[in-house]
Every structure is written in structure tokens, then in C-alpha cells.
A and B are shown apart, each in its own frame.
Chain A
């Protein structure tokens, strides 16, 4: 009986310690970027991970007052900054995604999904598997039917 109480007490102590620990952790990180809807996404190298939050989420209209989505004048200038550059000068610059890179939160182009090719391959491979299995099953059944005759005749 004492052992059971000891186990129960140890479990309760572990839970209590974790509760205190959680409070301490939250106190240390009052703005916990983890679960809050207004959490700032971290710049992770993990493809697609944690880059998906809208940094404006949670901001009120008042907070966003004065912000507009028009292109700043510098945007046009920056576009022009490459004007006149030759192909050689731009060599090595490309805007291709690295392998495995994806950006959750940005709508990928539908062309990025080879749906027809993948589903087509899936259907073709599995169709071939089913057909092969069907043929083998038929062959096995024929063999099973013919084998007793063979064994009788061999006797």
C-alpha cells in the first residue's frame, strides 16, 4: 500500500514540477511565439516549416492605418537596377527553388504539380500489378486442377 502511495506521490510531484516549470518558462517568454496566432514566424531553414504565418495577423485596422499595399516608388527603381546588365553579368543568378524548398503560405503554381503524370503512373503500375496477380491466380487454379490428374496418372 505504501509503495502505491509512493508512486502516486512521485507522479503528482512530477506533474507539479512540470506545472511550476511551465509557469517559469512562460514567465521567461511572456510573448511565447509558439502557439499564439500573432506569433512571429522564425526564419527557419526547414522547407516550408514555420514560414507560414501572416505577420499582420492579429493587427487591428487602427494599427494598420496608413499602411497601403501600393508599390512604393523604389520598387520600380529596384526593378530597373538590373537594366542594362548583360547575361554574363547576371550569370549565376537564378531564382530557382533549391531542392526540397517550398514556401508554405505562398500559393504554388498549379503547373508545379504533375498530377496527370503521377496519377497516371499510379494507375498504370497498380493496374499492371493487379493484372499480373490475376494471371498468376488463374495459372495457379489451372495448375491445382490439373495436378491431381497428374499425380493419379503417375501412380
Chain B
């Protein structure tokens, strides 16, 4: 989906086109679901968050302002609030439970909510790279190959490998700036 397609989709969404809601769900539902899966203890909670995010977004679609951010950034903002609310409820229950059981909280330090969101946005952007570029990035990121080794493995010229790496990382960075945790107050 190009950014033009995204703009078109956002226009349809705001004007109440149900097909645009479905398209937004198909494109960004997995981002919202991933945020739920990685922030909440239970899968059912993640499914709930996904449902509530799209229901809330659709009912409040007239409040989406394309001049202040992209549709996915707006959806993720709603999802983050849903997750935070759900966590508060869970923590209250857990605190009550602890008081009842007189036990200590054994939970280990977890990555911040911002970091979790940024990882999800990165994972999503990786899957939207052109196949060849994605292959090069994955060999560098997850197989720890040097650019020379990647060139040898893929048969691509060194310059192409270096340019894929640079542009791939730039895309991840831009996407994070637009939709990641730092994109909102």
C-alpha cells in the first residue's frame, strides 16, 4: 500500500465508508493485536483490545484529523489507551489478589510500553519492504552477516547491498518517527 493509498483509505474511513473500515482493519489490525499480545497477559485481552480499538475508532472517526498524523498512528494511539486502561484494571485486581494472599510481586522488569510499540511498528515495516531488500536486511539483522558476506550469499553487487541496508534502515526509522511511541505526547 503506497502512502497515496493510505490517504485515500483514511478519506473513506472519515466519511463513513464501511469498506474502508474493513481495509483499515486488514492493514493495521495485526499491529493493534500485536500491541495487545505483547502488553497484556492474556490472548483474550489482546483480542478484546483489538475489537474495542476499531469500534472506538469507527464511532469517533469524525475526530480523526489527517493534518495531525496518519490513520495508523491514530489507531495505535487509541490502542495504547485501551491497553493502559486494561492494565490498570488488571493491576487493581492483582493488587487485591496480593493483599488477599499476602504475597510479594515477583514480576521481573519488562520493556517499556514505548519500546513494545516501536518494536511492533518495526516488525510491520520489515514485512512491507520489497522482497530483495527485506532479504538483505534480514541477513544483516538476524544472521549477522557483513555486507560483503551478504553480497556473496545473494549474488548482488556490493553497492546494491549497501544501498538496500541504508534505505531499509531509513525506512524503519521514518516509520518509527511517524507511528512509533515518540510520535505522540
- A and B physically associate: no
